[in-house]
């Protein structure tokens, strides 16, 4: 049971405070902020207690979303709830920020009233909630088609030349109806990759976690059908189709997804609620359909002048038409490293010595598939011993692979019924992120 | 839900598009006054804006209670948005202004009659939140109507309102019969209503532990399971949590519930998944392990747990804490999933540490190579805390998986070579533990360790190194120099190091007395004269006195063989673990503390327990089953009502078991005994003693103090055995034979509890006579006993009467009367009895064999005629013949001796100088045994022929004959 819910700005200002059960006073807010700011990095921040009050919080949109409880409640329930609450507020207000929460406090109070009663969570479905919510959202930023500040672009499902700005998906759901906003639907296939490559070049671990997210701005869509690859198969034994199977280990679906056509045709049927939902989540472990996207060939030695030499060759094994962006390699180096001199193979790359985190960070803004880059780093390390060579590595890579899924999951089609009157846009975007990509040296 | 939802759509009223943030602008003087005017404006829009401003001020903590009447005046409106805002204000301030809150009552009552269900629900919801006693009276009638409302939205709101009202005035709720209405709502057609009714009832039931409000029976469970498929995810959580409190009647019901809950495991909401896992983990206890379904269920549990680890770090952390519990209870679920617990470099440190812990728990011979490779990588990472824990983990692997010890040690040596200071120190600490687990195996590495002596600056590492030097002093040539170098800064060391140094030097002295006498005197005087620390001083005195009194005894005490350290000292204590398993997914599972430790008041203090397993011939898994198997070769079979025993245990609040990483126990036990003695005298003589050096060991240590226990180092068990013999002798006069006590449960296997015992039949009652000896360092209390089912249905006739706590080194005698009406199962051997004894520390299992003569009843004398007829009637195949050798009794003496044990002689015949005794015996279960005993004068060998309809007992009966006759 939730006792109180409050939302704080990152500076500790009270934005929203709601007491559901009258069990403790509003001084809890201050206590929480004191506690959360006093935490050190290695303390688990999730659950904190003060006397017999327990705080559970998440951070979203730069805000603290906090719930308190006095009983032995489930932190899972509360964390899930706070995340849903943040998602709802985002759906209703368009974006999450201190400003948007402040501007819409009446709306958020109204939401909270419907979402939780006496600490019991009632519903977080925007479909149900739309029947109760009276207050109109206030958008913090006028929606502009020309706002192209963000990088990721939605590629239209059918015509690759058409793109929509990524800010298109950040507007309140309600406005679509009242303000005559466009009927649009956005589908994201997002995968996160964790890979460990051993010092001998062996692939030691490769996991992919993926999800399909739908953000819907359609006022009256009764059914939507998402067709996945026909050859999509689940589990180790099952194989479908004639070509190479697109295989995952585990799949879970949102409650509203109907699966009667899934087994035969790999079609997800759902009636999307307005706002954003994760329709499907899946995982694949230890069996990537293609080679891992990056390989590293390091040479680490000590030169005659007692300096540490690191010669790194990084190869991108993506198909030549694809490219990785925002690649950053973090190379841990021995303690006490003083200065760095570098030779990089192209001018758009950069490298930097970060003494606090004991690492060299090598940044590559764009890395085309099938190419190889190299870098030579010379480090001044006083008292360099052979043992300190052991402190080099493992290298961590972070990157984004747009228009690509590591598992090969694709969306074949997106059909809406009844056929939408007037213009409606359907957008699909694929992206693979690195979650933890480690190459040992 | 959709019906009313659609209908409500039309009621929507669109408010203004003005920006709310302007309400947060700073207060000016007279603001309240301005607001007052605005609130009383005629224009709806203006009113609404004003109320918004009021609520904005309320949120940031300003006191706007002065506006109460003006805001309440705005309540009577048909604008829903405005009404909601006013209600928001009311909920906040009604408590501080109870008299004025009454003003609002009329509107509430009116709103509860409104044709719009949204307004009816809003009114009943808000009324419940106004925690003012006076209002509750007016609330009852509207609430009663709303509970029976035609609209499910109103009903579900009303259901919650009952819980609110109960919190304010429990008596009122009961008097008004709301609880019964609430119970009826469990059968409602709308799943949301069911879910809220369940949630409300669960909460009310918690404050009335014995009310049986949530009368869970198969019918209601069925309703809940049906609602489970239809309601929202949050409702599913309420229902699953409620299900977890139900105890199914048998394993079939348990299985059918599990089958219906399993689909929840693939839900996207992790809270639903965890609640389902909780239900399954609990109900699984009841499933027989040989059932196919049990295996299927185990397989199904792994993927959802693994999926939780792909969530954001906060959720991952909570999930890992839970997985940690699940892995301790049922490691088989995740034994193939080791890889998912490998650490990612960008995991937050608290996630890393939890993962590491689980990795070690899952480590086994099968995956140890993989785990070690990972750990070695972690040991070179950047984060110091994590690296330390990784190095420790390597040591724990060595202790846990014996086959890996060698590889672990070489990995640790590699790490020591890095010379990274904290890595070296951690490695030395764990190598010490490895030495204690595998003594005399890896001493070759000592040389490498000694090279790093200078770099050790942490007390724990220094203490570990000193321990190693002391323990292996005879193999380290310059041990004295090494220890001397530590001694130089004795006073600057931490207590841990000082104590260790003292012990190490005494060990060194006992091993190499000639060269180190000066050193030992130096350390003894430092410890006893220059130190303010009582622990150190006392330990110093004890050693001093030991050395001066009896160097041989000192050697045996200080250099005694140490018990090996246990495999896993950091396991959660089993009873606590059981309770925590019942609280999976809750705060208790994150804190790893029972809810009673952090929830105030009566709520949640009831201890939950796992249900007992079905009595279908499988054994409840327990870390101690091994010890039972060790005592007898019989396979450990079921202990049927162990569930009850564990239940008893769950009602206890137990401290976690102590770990054994401190100084070696013999030393400290010596310390305790010696310390008591010291206080009794002898201290003065010691202090006044002359410290002059003398070549003979110990002779120069002053006057030998009096009162040193003579048999200080004599094996305690020997003394105890004498004691048992005495006890056995005392048992004799009553006539029935009773064997001497033997050790049933050695202290080694029972965390210091030693049980020896025997059986006796006294005045027709079978008794189990035991001596409980506490050989541990802490007091033992809360003894209880249970038997497994056995061949003759032996069961305790009453509880085990140990009324006083047993303090260390104390023995206590108990006699437990037994009856023979317990459950029956044939054992092998027939007279085998498996026993579970629990105390405040743990539950222990052992098995023992009782002499079957215990079961010979007093009315076992058969009529002659019946004897003859029976003898003839029993087929000859059932006859078995045995020899009793070396028995020098006459036939009469034998007869009377046997009679004492209820073996009755019916007739005697003498043929050719050979006495034939015909005897009968009846067992407690009605089995008759007929015997012919032939005694030849001058021949020490007797022949017994036994005839019985149940020939299985013959062997045991014969053993009793032999035992009785020879004692």
Segment B678-683 shows an average pLDDT of 36
Rounded to the nearest integer, the mean pLDDT of chain B is: 78
B960, pLDDT greater than 60: yes
> Which of A131, A204, A282, A361 best probes binding to B when mutated, by most B CB atoms within 10 angstroms?
A131
Residue of B209 and B844 predicted with greater confidence:
B844
B22, pLDDT greater than 70: no
Chain A residues 283-322 within an 8 A CB cutoff of chain B: 283, 285-286
Residue A191 exposure: Cα atoms within 13 Å on the Cβ side = 25
User: How far is the C-alpha of A233 from the C-alpha of B539, rounded, in Å?
Assistant: 69
- Say if the Cβ atoms of B59 and A16 lie within 8 Å: yes
Q: Whole-model pTM?
A: 0.65
* Angle of the B152-168 helix axis to the B191-207 helix axis, nearest 10: 10
Q: In this structure, are residues A75 and B598 in contact, taking their beta carbons and an 8 Å threshold?
A: no
Instruction: Write down the pLDDT at residue B608.
Output: 67
Instruction: Write down the pLDDT at residue A4.
Output: 92
Residue A16 touches chain B, beta carbons under 8 Å: yes
Task: Measure B396 CA to nearest chain A CA, in Å.
Answer: 22
Segment A349-355 shows an average pLDDT of 90
Give CA angle at B600 (B596, B602), nearest 5°. 75
Place A315 in a pLDDT band, splitting at 50, 70 and 90. Answer: very high
Residue of A37 and B61 predicted with greater confidence:
A37
Per the listing, tokens 């008097």 go with B175
Instruction: Write down the pLDDT at residue B568.
Output: 61
Instruction: Write down the pLDDT at residue A150.
Output: 39
> Residue A116 forms beta bridges with which residues?
A121
pLDDT digits (tens, 9 = 90+) for A30-58: 899 988 888 876 677 778 888 888 999 98
Q: How far separated are the first and last CA of chain B, in Å rounded?
A: 84
**Domain A165-172+181-289+406-439: which CATH number of 3.30.1360.120, 1.10.645.10, 3.40.190.10, 2.60.40.1170:** 2.60.40.1170
- Say if the Cβ atoms of A52 and B590 lie within 8 Å: no
The string over A372-398, giving b where at least 16 C-beta atoms fall within 10 Å of a residue's C-beta and e elsewhere, is ebebebbbbbeebeeebbbbbbbbbbb
Give CA angle at B597 (B596, B600), nearest 5°. 65
Segment B245-256 shows an average pLDDT of 88
Place A149 in a pLDDT band, splitting at 50, 70 and 90. Answer: very low
What is the distance of C-alpha A338 from the center of its chain? 35
Comparing A216-230, B622-636, B888-902, the range with the smallest average pLDDT is B622-636
Highest mean pLDDT among A158-167, A272-281, B318-327: B318-327
Q: Which two tokens stand for residue B450?
A: 């000694």
Residue of B910 and A269 predicted with greater confidence:
A269
B726, pLDDT greater than 60: no
Instruction: Write down the pLDDT at residue B277.
Output: 93
User: What's the CATH code, domain A294-402?
Assistant: 2.60.40.1170
B612, pLDDT greater than 70: no
Task: Measure B214 CA to nearest chain A CA, in Å.
Answer: 18
Residue B587 touches chain A, beta carbons under 8 Å: yes
Instruction: Write down the pLDDT at residue A85.
Output: 93
The string over B427-459, giving b where at least 16 C-beta atoms fall within 10 Å of a residue's C-beta and e elsewhere, is bbbbbbbbbbbbeeebeebbeebbebeeebebb
Instruction: Write down the pLDDT at residue A8.
Output: 92
Segment B697-705 shows an average pLDDT of 39
User: How far is the C-alpha of B202 from the C-alpha of B293, rounded, in Å?
Assistant: 30
* Of residues B15, B350, B599, nearest to A71 (C-beta): B599
- For the beta carbon of residue B840, count every other beta carbon within 10 angstroms: 17
Place B289 in a pLDDT band, splitting at 50, 70 and 90. Answer: confident
- Sorted by sequence, the CB contacts under 8 Å of residue B107 that are 6+ apart come out as B75, B76, B123
Instruction: Write down the pLDDT at residue B840.
Output: 83
A192, pLDDT greater than 60: yes
Query: What is the share, in percent, of chain B residues with pLDDT greater than 70?
Result: 82
Helices H / strands E in chain B, number of each:
40, 13
User: How is chain A split into domains, by residue range?
Assistant: 2-130, 165-172+181-289+406-439, 294-402
pLDDT digits (tens, 9 = 90+) for B803-862: 778 888 888 888 888 888 888 888 888 888 888 888 888 888 888 888 888 888 888 888
B395, pLDDT greater than 60: yes
* Of residues A14, A54, A106, nearest to B61 (C-beta): A14
Residue of B322 and B479 predicted with greater confidence:
B322
B173, pLDDT greater than 90: no
Place B724 in a pLDDT band, splitting at 50, 70 and 90. Answer: very low
Place B662 in a pLDDT band, splitting at 50, 70 and 90. Answer: very low
pLDDT digits (tens, 9 = 90+) for B338-384: 888 998 888 888 899 999 999 988 988 889 988 998 898 888 777 88
User: How far is the C-alpha of A314 from the C-alpha of A316, rounded, in Å?
Assistant: 7
Q: In this structure, are residues B663 and B588 in contact, taking their beta carbons and an 8 Å threshold?
A: no
Residue B366 touches chain A, beta carbons under 8 Å: no
Instruction: Write down the pLDDT at residue A420.
Output: 63
B208, pLDDT greater than 70: yes
Per the listing, tokens 């130096």 go with B522
B870, pLDDT greater than 70: yes
- Sorted by sequence, the CB contacts under 8 Å of residue B737 that are 6+ apart come out as B851, B853, B900, B901, B960, B963, B964, B967
Task: Measure B798 CA to nearest chain A CA, in Å.
Answer: 37
pLDDT digits (tens, 9 = 90+) for B114-129: 898 989 999 999 888 8
Comparing A304-308, B16-20, B199-203, B933-937, the range with the smallest average pLDDT is B16-20
Query: What is the share, in percent, of chain B residues with pLDDT greater than 90?
Result: 10
* Of residues A43, A123, A178, nearest to B232 (C-beta): A123
Torsion angles phi and psi, residue B548, rounded to 5: -80, -25
Segment A261-269 shows an average pLDDT of 87
Sign of CA dihedral A69, A73, A79, A81: negative
Intrachain domains A2-130 and A165-172+181-289+406-439 with the same fold: no
Q: Which CATH class is domain A2-130?
A: alpha beta
Task: Measure B478 CA to nearest chain A CA, in Å.
Answer: 28
Q: In this structure, are residues A35 and B548 in contact, taking their beta carbons and an 8 Å threshold?
A: no
Highest mean pLDDT among A178-192, B457-471, B673-687: B457-471
Segment B165-187 shows an average pLDDT of 88
On the 0-12 / 13-18 / 19+ scale of CB atoms within 10 A, B477 is: exposed
Q: How many CB pairs under 8 A join A and B?
A: 238
Torsion angles phi and psi, residue B490, rounded to 5: -50, -45
Rounded to the nearest integer, the mean pLDDT of chain A is: 82
> Residue A185 forms beta bridges with which residues?
A216, A426
Place B326 in a pLDDT band, splitting at 50, 70 and 90. Answer: very high
Locate all alpha helices (DSSP H) within B74-148, ordered by sequence: 80-93, 98-111, 117-129, 133-147
- Say if the Cβ atoms of A113 and B18 lie within 8 Å: no
B574, pLDDT greater than 70: yes
- Say if the Cβ atoms of A435 and B346 lie within 8 Å: yes
B410, pLDDT greater than 60: yes
The string over B902-918, giving b where at least 16 C-beta atoms fall within 10 Å of a residue's C-beta and e elsewhere, is bbbbbeeeeeeeebbbb
Instruction: Write down the pLDDT at residue A421.
Output: 65
Query: What is the share, in percent, of chain A residues with pLDDT greater than 90?
Result: 22
Task: Measure A265 CA to nearest chain B CA, in Å.
Answer: 21
Residue of B513 and B648 predicted with greater confidence:
B513
ipTM given for this complex = 0.70
On the 0-12 / 13-18 / 19+ scale of CB atoms within 10 A, B481 is: exposed
- Say if the Cβ atoms of B88 and A113 lie within 8 Å: yes
Instruction: Write down the pLDDT at residue B341.
Output: 92
Place A338 in a pLDDT band, splitting at 50, 70 and 90. Answer: confident
DSSP string covering A250-298: EEEE-TT-B-TTHHHH-EEEE-PPSEEEEEEEEEEES--SS--SEEEEE
Instruction: Write down the pLDDT at residue B651.
Output: 39
pLDDT digits (tens, 9 = 90+) for A2-33: 999 999 998 888 889 998 888 888 888 889 99
Comparing A17-21, A161-165, A251-255, B11-15, the range with the smallest average pLDDT is B11-15
Instruction: Write down the pLDDT at residue B236.
Output: 92
Instruction: Write down the pLDDT at residue B861.
Output: 84
């Amino acid at each position: 049971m939730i006792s109180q819910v409050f939302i704080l700005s990152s500076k500790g200002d009270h934005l929203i405070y709601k007491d559901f059960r009258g069990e403790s006073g509003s001084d809890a807010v201050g206590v929480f902020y004191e506690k959360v700011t006093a935490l050190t990095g290695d303390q688990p921040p999730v659950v904190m207690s003060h006397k017999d009050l327990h705080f559970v919080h998440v951070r979203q949109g730069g805000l603290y979303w906090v719930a308190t409880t006095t009983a032995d409640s489930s932190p899972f329930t509360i964390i899930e709830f706070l995340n849903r609450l943040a998602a709802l507020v985002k759906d209703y207000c368009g974006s999450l920020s201190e400003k948007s929460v402040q501007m819409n406090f009446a709306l958020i109070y109204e939401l909270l009233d419907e979402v939780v009663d006496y600490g019991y969570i009632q519903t977080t479905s925007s479909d149900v909630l739309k029947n109760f919510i009276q207050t109109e959202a206030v958008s913090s930023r006028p929606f502009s088609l020309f706002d192209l500040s963000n990088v990721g672009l939605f590629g239209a499902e059918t015509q690759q030349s058409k793109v929509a700005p990524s800010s298109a998906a950040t507007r309140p759901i309600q406005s679509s109806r009242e303000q005559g906003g466009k009927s649009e639907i956005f589908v994201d296939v997002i995968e996160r990759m964790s890979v460990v490559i051993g010092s001998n070049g062996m692939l030691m671990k490769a996991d992919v976690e993926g999800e399909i997210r739908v953000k819907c701005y359609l006022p009256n869509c009764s059914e939507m059908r998402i067709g996945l690859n026909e050859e999509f198969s689940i589990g180790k034994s099952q194989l479908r189709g004639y070509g190479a199977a697109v295989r995952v280990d585990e799949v879970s679906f949102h409650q509203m997804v109907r699966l009667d056509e899934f087994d035969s045709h790999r079609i997800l049927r759902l009636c999307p609620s307005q706002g954003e939902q994760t329709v499907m989540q899946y995982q694949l472990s230890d069996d990537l359909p293609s080679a891992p996207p990056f390989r590293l060939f390091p040479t680490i030695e000590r030169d005659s002048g007692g300096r540490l030499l690191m010669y790194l060759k990084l190869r991108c094994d993506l198909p030549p038409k694809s490219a990785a962006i925002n690649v950053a390699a973090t190379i841990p180096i021995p303690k006490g490293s003083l200065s760095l001199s570098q030779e990089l193979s192209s001018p758009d790359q950069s490298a930097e010595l970060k003494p606090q985190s004991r690492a060299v960070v090598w940044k590559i803004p764009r890395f085309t598939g099938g190419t190889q880059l190299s870098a030579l780093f010379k480090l001044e390390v006083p008292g360099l011993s052979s043992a300190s060579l052991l402190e080099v590595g493992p290298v961590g890579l972070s990157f984004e692979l747009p228009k690509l899924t590591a598992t090969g999951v694709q969306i074949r089609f997106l059909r809406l019924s009844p056929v939408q009157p007037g213009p409606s846009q359907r957008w699909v975007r694929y992206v693979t992120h690195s979650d933890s990509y480690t190459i040992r040296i | 839900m959709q019906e009313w939802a659609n209908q409500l759509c039309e009621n929507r009223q669109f408010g203004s598009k003005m920006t709310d943030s302007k309400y947060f602008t700073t207060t000016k003087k007279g603001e309240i006054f301005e607001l007052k005017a605005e609130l009383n404006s005629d224009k709806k829009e203006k009113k609404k804006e004003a109320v918004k401003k009021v609520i904005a001020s309320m949120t940031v903590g300003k006191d706007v209670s002065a506006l109460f009447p003006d805001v309440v005046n705005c309540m009577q409106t048909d604008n829903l948005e405005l009404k909601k805002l006013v209600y928001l204000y009311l909920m906040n301030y009604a408590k501080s202004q109870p008299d004025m809150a009454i003003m609002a009552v009329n509107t509430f009552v009116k709103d509860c009659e409104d044709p719009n269900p949204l307004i009816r629900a809003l009114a009943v919801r808000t009324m419940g939140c106004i925690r003012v006693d006076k209002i509750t009276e007016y609330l009852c009638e509207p609430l009663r109507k709303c509970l029976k409302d035609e609209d499910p939205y109103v009903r579900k709101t009303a259901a919650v309102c009952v819980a609110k009202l109960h919190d304010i005035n429990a008596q009122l709720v009961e008097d008004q019969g709301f609880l019964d209405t609430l119970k009826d709502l469990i059968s409602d057609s709308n799943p949301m209503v069911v879910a809220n009714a369940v949630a409300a009832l669960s909460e009310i039931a918690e404050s009335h532990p014995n009310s049986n409000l949530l009368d869970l029976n198969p019918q209601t469970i069925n309703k809940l399971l049906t609602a489970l498929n239809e309601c929202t995810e949050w409702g599913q959580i309420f229902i699953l949590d409620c299900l977890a409190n139900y105890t199914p009647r048998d394993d079939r019901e348990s299985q059918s519930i599990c089958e219906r809950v399993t689909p929840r495991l693939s839900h996207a909401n992790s809270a639903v998944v965890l609640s389902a896992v909780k239900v399954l983990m609990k109900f699984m206890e009841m499933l027989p392990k040989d059932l196919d379904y049990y295996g299927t269920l185990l397989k199904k549990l792994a993927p959802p747990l693994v999926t939780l680890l792909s969530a954001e770090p906060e959720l991952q952390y909570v999930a890992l804490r839970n997985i940690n519990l699940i892995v301790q209870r049922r490691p088989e679920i995740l034994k193939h999933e080791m890889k998912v617990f490998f650490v990612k470099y960008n995991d937050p440190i608290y996630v890393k540490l939890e993962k590491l812990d689980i990795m070690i728990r899952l480590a086994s011979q099968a995956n140890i190579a993989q785990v070690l490779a990972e750990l070695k990588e972690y040991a070179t990472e950047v984060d110091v805390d994590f690296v330390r824990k990784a190095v420790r983990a390597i040591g724990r692997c060595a202790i846990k998986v014996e086959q890996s010890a060698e590889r672990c040690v070489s990995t640790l040596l590699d790490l020591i070579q890095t010379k990274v200071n904290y890595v070296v120190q951690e490695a030395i600490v764990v190598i010490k533990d490895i030495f204690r687990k595998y003594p005399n195996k890896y001493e070759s590495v000592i040389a490498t360790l000694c090279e790093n002596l200078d770099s050790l600056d942490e007390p724990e590492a220094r203490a570990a190194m000193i321990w190693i030097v002391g323990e292996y002093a005879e193999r380290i040539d310059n041990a004295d120099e090494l220890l001397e170098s530590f001694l130089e800064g004795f006073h600057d060391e931490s207590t841990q190091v000082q104590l260790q140094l003292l012990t190490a030097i005494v060990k060194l002295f006992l091993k190499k007395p000639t060269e180190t006498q000066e050193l030992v005197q130096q350390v003894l005087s430092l410890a006893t004269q220059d130190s303010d620390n009582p622990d150190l001083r006392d330990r110093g005195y004890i050693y001093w006195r030991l050395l001066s009194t009896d160097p041989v005894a000192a050697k045996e005490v200080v250099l005694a063989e140490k018990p090996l350290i246990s495999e896993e000292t950091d396991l959660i204590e089993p009873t606590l673990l059981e309770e925590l398993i019942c609280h999976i997914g809750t705060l208790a599972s994150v804190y790893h503390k029972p809810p009673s430790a952090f929830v105030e008041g009566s709520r949640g203090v009831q201890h939950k327990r796992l249900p007992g397993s079905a009595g279908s011939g499988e054994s409840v898994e327990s870390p101690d089953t091994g010890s039972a198997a060790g005592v007898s070769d019989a396979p450990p079979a079921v202990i049927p009502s162990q569930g009850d025993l564990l239940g008893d245990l769950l009602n206890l609040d137990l401290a976690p078991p102590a770990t054994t990483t401190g100084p070696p126990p013999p030393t400290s036990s010596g310390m305790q005994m010696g310390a008591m003695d010291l206080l009794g005298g002898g201290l003065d003589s010691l202090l006044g003693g002359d410290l002059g050096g003398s070549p003979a060991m110990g002779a120069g240590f002053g006057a030998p103090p009096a009162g040193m226990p003579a048999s200080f180092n004599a094996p305690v068990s020997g003394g105890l055995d004498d004691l048992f013999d005495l006890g056995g002798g005392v048992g004799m006069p009553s006539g029935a034979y009773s064997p001497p006590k033997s050790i049933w449960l050695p202290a080694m296997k029972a965390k210091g509890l030693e049980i020896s015992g025997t059986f006796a039949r006294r005045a027709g009652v079978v008794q189990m006579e035991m001596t409980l000896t506490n050989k541990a360092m802490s007091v033992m209390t809360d003894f209880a006993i249970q038997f497994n089912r056995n061949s003759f249905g032996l069961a305790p006739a009453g509880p085990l009467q140990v009324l006083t706590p047993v303090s260390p080194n104390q023995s206590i005698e108990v006699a437990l009367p037994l009856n023979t009406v317990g459950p029956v199962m044939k054992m092998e051997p027939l007279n085998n009895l498996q026993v579970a004894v629990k105390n405040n520390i743990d539950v222990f299992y052992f098995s023992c064999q009782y002499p079957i003569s215990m079961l010979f009843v007093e009315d076992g004398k058969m009529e002659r005629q019946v004897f003859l007829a029976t003898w003839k009637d029993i087929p000859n195949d059932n006859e078995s013949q045995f020899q009793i050798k070396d028995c020098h009794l006459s036939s009469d003496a034998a007869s009377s001796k046997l009679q004492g044990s209820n073996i009755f002689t019916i007739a005697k015949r003498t043929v050719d100088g050979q006495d034939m005794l015909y005897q009968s015996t009846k067992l407690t279960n009605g089995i008759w045994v007929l015997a012919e005993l032939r005694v030849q004068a001058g021949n020490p060998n007797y022949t017994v022929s036994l005839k019985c309809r149940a020939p299985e007992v013959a062997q045991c009966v014969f053993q009793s004959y032999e035992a009785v006759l020879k004692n």
